[in-house]
Each structure stands twice: as structure tokens, then as C-alpha cells.
Structure 1
Amino acid sequence: MNFWNKWDTKISQIEAALITILLTLMILTAFSQIVLRNFFASGIDWGDALVRYLVVWVAFIGAAIATREGKHITIDLLSRWLTGRGSIAVQALACFFSAVICGLLTLAAIKFIWFEAQMGGTAFFKLPVWVPELIMPVTFGLMTLRFVMGMIECGIRIAEGGKRIG
């Protein structure tokens, strides 16, 4: 677990930096487009496409951050009624199902990227359309890994009698 915690900390720092940079770039590009259109009757040709892809990147990175922080949508009615090991077992089960779903979404995203690469479309600046879409399998894969690690942590907590681990 210690190895995973070190890597997750590094990934968390990258996520924080990326989401800050991308959100700033998204706001500046959208603002520039508005100013250019309203005051100069022009705009940046690739600006709208860039903003659309930035929205997707920010959303997916935000989902990965929410997963890391345990702030994703949960249905925890049962775990609130249970205590100790029972509550932790329900959390482990939720992590298991979440990992399965995210794993399936990772596979679907990989297939989607492969299909997009076969189609040969471009996004902007002659950049293949599949390149900015790589965020999907990467973040779904990261979320899968985080749910698996959450499940393992729950198993360790159950084995230790329901205590929190450091």
C-alpha cells in the first residue's frame, strides 16, 4: 500500500497542476472568443474546438480527483446502518462494482479511440482526433485502479478488525 500511496500522491500532484492549467486555458480561450466575436467580428478558428476538448479533459480529470478523494456519487444507505466490519464490507463491495464498471468503460474508451484512429479525422492543427480523446481511457483506467486499491484497503481494514489504516 505504501508504494501505491507514493504513486497516487505523485499522480494527484499532476492532476492538480493539469486541471489548473487546463481550466485557466479554457476560460482564457472562451473569453478571447467572446471578445473577438463581439468587438472585432472575428475569432480564433480552432478556439471553439479547443474549448470543447478542454471541457472534456477538465471533466474527466475532475472525475478522477473526485474518485481519489472519495467524493464521487455513492449510495451509502446500507453502510450507514451497519457498523464496523459490515460497513467496511459494503464499502468494499461498492468499490468492487465501481472498479468493474470503470474497467468496462476503460475498455470501451480504448475501442472508441481505436475506431477514431481508424477513421483518421483531425481535431485542430492537423492533430488526430483520437489524441485529445486519450483522456477517456487514461482517467477511466486510473479510476479503476483507485477503486481496486480502495477495495484492497477495505480488505485490510476488515482483517485488522475494522480499524482505519494510515
Structure 2
Amino acid sequence: MKRRIRRLLDLLHLFETAVAGLALLLLVGLVMGQIVARNFFDTGIPGADVLSRHLLLYILFFGAALATDADRHIRIDLLTAWLPSRLLDRLYRPLLAVGACVLALLTHAAWRFWLDSWEYSQPQERWTVLLDLVIPFGFGLLTFHFLMDLVLGTAARRSMQ
């Protein structure tokens, strides 16, 4: 069972790295192409601004998933300076559960928002709405990572690697 979970997590990590890296390369290439087109040809690349905004979302969500997988995501640590480490260890999983619930709610809200956007979008704008799928998918991916940490525990996940 552990081997299957490890294999799944390794494949997911590889997928997240590939998507984030590819999105970054495409963003750099698109922005450089836009600069060249505007400076030398007095024109821009049609749709480049919209596409670059969406590529930034892909980098953001998949980068956040990679950071969560490595347990290096942003935390709000106001109380950790005053709480004893033993209590922090006991609170770790309940706080992961709260985080997973919040992310699940954000996933649901993003999915409903995307469905409304799809339903009411103009046919010529549907390509941008398809790119917006990264928002519910990204929140879902973060939810999955939080749930994996909750079930396995960070120490258990690190020992599997």
C-alpha cells in the first residue's frame, strides 16, 4: 500500500513540476515575443495578455502544490512562538483538517464559479474559460495534498521518500 501511495505521490510531483516549469517557460517566451513584436513590428500578439495572466495562475497553483508537497507552504505562525512544541505536534493534524476543509470549500466555490462562467461566456471567449479550470483544479490539488498530509502525517510522508 505504501509503495502505491509513494508511486502516486511521485507521479503527481513529476506532473506538477512539469506543468509549472512548462508554464514558466511559455510565459517567458510569450512575454519576450510580445516585447519583440511591440518594439520591432509595432503590433502585439493577439491574446498574449490574457494568456500570460492564465499562465501565471498555472505557475501559482502548481507551485503552491509543490510547496505544499514539500511542507514549505505559507503558514500563519502567530501562536507558534508561544506554544510548546509538544502542543504544536498535537495540533498539527487538526489544523491540517481545518486547512483541508477550507480548501475543499474553495474548490467547491471555484467549481461553481467556473460552471457559471462557462454557461454565460460568449463562444469566442470559451478558450479563456477553459484555461480558468486551473482555479478549481488547483484548489482541489491543494486539498489533496493537505489530505495526504493529514492521513499520512508529514513525518510519515518524508520517511516514505
TM-score (norm 2): 0.85
Q: Aligned partners of 2:22, 2:32: CA distance in 1, in Å?
A: 15
Q: Determine what percentage of the aligned residue pairs are the same residue.
A: 29
The offset of 1:83, in angstroms, is 3.7
The offset of 1:156, in angstroms, is 9.2
Q: Aligned partners of 1:4, 1:107: CA distance in 2, in Å?
A: 25
Mark the runs of 5 or more structure 2 residues left unpaired by the alignment.
Answer: none
Q: Which amino acid aligns with 2:131?
A: P
The offset of 1:155, in angstroms, is 9.9
Q: Which residue of 2 aligns with 1:160?
A: none
TM-score (norm 1): 0.83
- Aligned-residue RMSD, C-alpha: 2.4
Matches within 5 A, 1:14-93: 14-76=15-77, 77-78=79-80, 81-84=83-86, 86-93=87-94
The offset of 1:121, in angstroms, is 3.2
The offset of 1:90, in angstroms, is 1.5
Q: Aligned partners of 2:123, 2:27: CA distance in 1, in Å?
A: 20
Over residues 45-90 of structure 1, what are the superposed CA-to-partner deviations in whole Å (9 max), with x where a residue is unaligned? 1211111111111111111111111111113443884345x33222
Q: Which has the higher contact order (CA 8 A, sep 6+)?
A: 2
Over residues 9-47 of structure 1, what are the superposed CA-to-partner deviations in whole Å (9 max), with x where a residue is unaligned? 101101111111110110011011011101210121121
The offset of 1:95, in angstroms, is 0.7
Q: Aligned partners of 1:26, 1:155: CA distance in 2, in Å?
A: 33
Q: Which residue of 2 aligns with 1:10?
A: 11
